[in-house]
Amino acid sequence: MPFAARVGHTLAYTPSDTQQHRLHLPEGDHVDLRQFLGILRVRVKFILSAFILGAIATVLLVLSMPPVYGSSTKLFITTPVGQQATDTTAAYFAAQRLASYADLAREPSLLQDVIDKLNLADTTRDELADMVTAQVITATQTLQIDVKASTPTLAQDIAEAEAQGLVSLVARLEKPSTGEGVPAFVARVVGPASISQSPVSPNVPLNIVVGLMLSLFIGIAGAVLRDLLDRTVKTRQDAEEITDTAVLATLPFDRQVKKQALSNEGHGALAEAFRVLRTNLQFANLDSKVELLLVSSAVPDEGKTLVATNLAMSMAQSGRSVLLVDADMRNPNVAELLGLENSVGLMTVLIGRTSLDEAIQSHVSGISFLGTGPRPPNPAEVLDTQAMKDLLAGARGLYDVVIIDAPPMLPVADASILMREVDGALLLIRYGSTTREQLRLAVARIETVGGRLFGTILNRTPRRTGDGYGYGYGYGYGYGEPVEPARKSLFARAEKRPVPSRRSVG
């Protein structure tokens, strides 16, 4: 990086900027804890939205779930009393067969008997099987039957019918094949089935807590995924790595100046940001004086017109004579922004209807303005003429600084044509809108025509309390903070200096 660019890079940073971290990671990298916390701060609205929507869905789902009541009863599996005294191994075999008895609780014929006994005509055997579970209590000869139903009474009735049916089924299966003697094993109901008026599900507190935790997890996971998949430029490091130049300023988003330029008396965060840009621009090209400056962007709607206009006003406040030229003949907006006339301008001068001096208008801010004039059918051809080169050369001799508001780089060739006639360019990057690929293509186009990129401007960065610089959204020196006394007095002295209208030629 050249010495001048390194100086501009240094001035554009504050000490806290060294803490910035890249979140849009190349393949193979990982997100560390600081970057992860940065994502949470920036995506807090997305996370809160996901959490709130998830919480609402959880509450609605839990409250819409019908209550389910439970009942249980137990069966004791043993040998007949007479055999128990003579056959010491019968108990062991009974324990081995308990698992089979548990499976019999869902046997289709038994389920059908329960349906017939309780007159559950609207319930199928499969539905009843889902309501009944049977399990062996570990290290015992006890089988527990659990039933869930829509009412406490129904659950109890099914549990008792299941228990009685299973007792009968075991007796039938264990009956000796000869029909004589006693069965090898018998099942006895331990006691009546339980009944409870409190539903066993849904567990409203537990389900809501689980739903809230899941909603928070989805919000955080979605925020991280969105950030990793986001291809737009949002940090200084992104812009500097792509362009190999410094970010001269980051401009906070300000709704008040969306359709009007700043006033000379601006002292807010955005006004201070333009002062930082003005100061850093002075050091971006130490080898030669910046006299002809082009302001453009990769694509439309990046804010180049507002930036060019406010930068011109800020330079005029420092005591320099400034000419602002609207060279965007396809979409001229500067005249409307300043409240001036656009019927006379570049075109009228180029075709010889008026002189450059007559076409230039004065603005109350102290800047001079040259509009586009009538819109030509072929703007690129008009700009690529010797008359246009002569006009810019003449303007260079009349003013300390000439700032050109040019069309975007990628859609049309206009800005590329003008790049050959200026000292350098500033490239606008709109936070969260300009993609990395668009920025790369814009820089490549500047390099192709042999132009010079002084630096970039990260525009419309969000205002975030406590955002600091950890995620790369710091506003630079003094943005949103009180200006140091010495620095403030310097600006005050500069603004009180008389603004010369023009400088003498030669």
pTM of the predicted protein model = 0.60
433, 320 contact by CB (below 8 A):
no
Q: What is the pLDDT of residues 193-240, one digit of tens each?
A: 999 998 988 888 899 999 999 999 999 999 888 878 888 998 888 899
pLDDT for res 95: 63
Instruction: Dump strand ranges (E) for 5-152.
Output: 69-78, 132-136, 142-149
Most confident of 2-6, 271-275, 391-395: 391-395
CA-closest candidate to residue 163, choices 139, 179, 180, 147: 147
Give the amino acid at 165: G
Average per-residue pLDDT for the chain: 80
Q: Which has the minimum average pLDDT: 100-104, 284-288, 496-500?
A: 496-500
Percentage of residues of the chain with pLDDT beyond 70 = 77
Give the amino acid at 256: Q
CA-closest candidate to residue 296, choices 503, 446, 487, 506: 446
Give the amino acid at 44: V
Q: What is the pLDDT of residues 39-92, one digit of tens each?
A: 788 788 889 999 999 999 999 998 889 999 999 999 988 776 545 544 556 556
Residue 373 pLDDT greater than 60, yes or no = yes
pLDDT for res 488: 35
Mean of pLDDT values over 283-302: 82
Cis check for the bond before 202: say yes or no (omega within 30 of 0): yes
pLDDT for res 12: 41
CA distance 385 to 390: 9
- Between these two residues, 172 and 362, which has the higher pLDDT value? 362
410, 438 contact by CB (below 8 A):
yes
Most confident of 25-39, 256-270, 354-368: 354-368
pLDDT for res 94: 61
307, 428 contact by CB (below 8 A):
yes
Instruction: Please say whether the dihedral angle defined by the alpha carbons of residues 419, 422, 424 and 425, taken in this order, is positive or negative.
Output: negative
Task: Output Rg (C-alpha) for the chain, integer angstroms.
Answer: 40
Phi-psi region of 265 (alpha: psi -120 to 50; beta: other; left: phi over 0): alpha
Residue 390 pLDDT greater than 70, yes or no = yes
Pairing of strands 292-297, 401-405: parallel
- Between these two residues, 276 and 505, which has the higher pLDDT value? 276
Residue 4 pLDDT greater than 60, yes or no = no
CA distance 301 to 434: 10
Mean of pLDDT values over 339-356: 93
pLDDT for res 492: 35
Q: Which has the minimum average pLDDT: 177-186, 247-256, 287-296?
A: 177-186
Residue 447 pLDDT greater than 60, yes or no = yes
* 96: Cβ contacts below 8 Å, ≥ 6 apart: none
